[in-house]
Amino acid sequence: MNRLRLFSKEISPACQYCKYGFITRDGKSVLCEKKGVADPFDRCRKYQYAPLKRIPRRPNALLTFDKSDFEL
């Protein structure tokens, strides 16, 4: 199966989503098995996307409607 169909192109490579990276407790750096300590938005040649590490954005808030909005 084509890899492009499974994952969006909008996700830019970052160490925080890498298979080899682990976010520290403070969340300001990533411990990489290949590179060592790195910035969360940095990347290297060994980058491999791990979809379960990515936290998706929250959906937009729903609009609120009144009863008058549905009258003709």
> In this model, does residue 29 exceed pLDDT 60?
yes
Q: What's the domain range around 47? A: 9-53
Residues 6+ apart with CB under 8 A from 37: 29, 30, 31
> In this model, does residue 20 exceed pLDDT 80?
yes
The count of domains in the chain is 1
Question: CA separation (Å) from 60 to 1, 21, 57, 63?
Answer: 31, 29, 9, 9
Whether 29 is in a domain gets the answer yes
Whether 59 is in a domain gets the answer no
Whether 41 is in a domain gets the answer yes
What is the structure's pLDDT at 7?
A: 60
Whether 70 is in a domain gets the answer no
Distance CA 26, CA 18 (A): 18
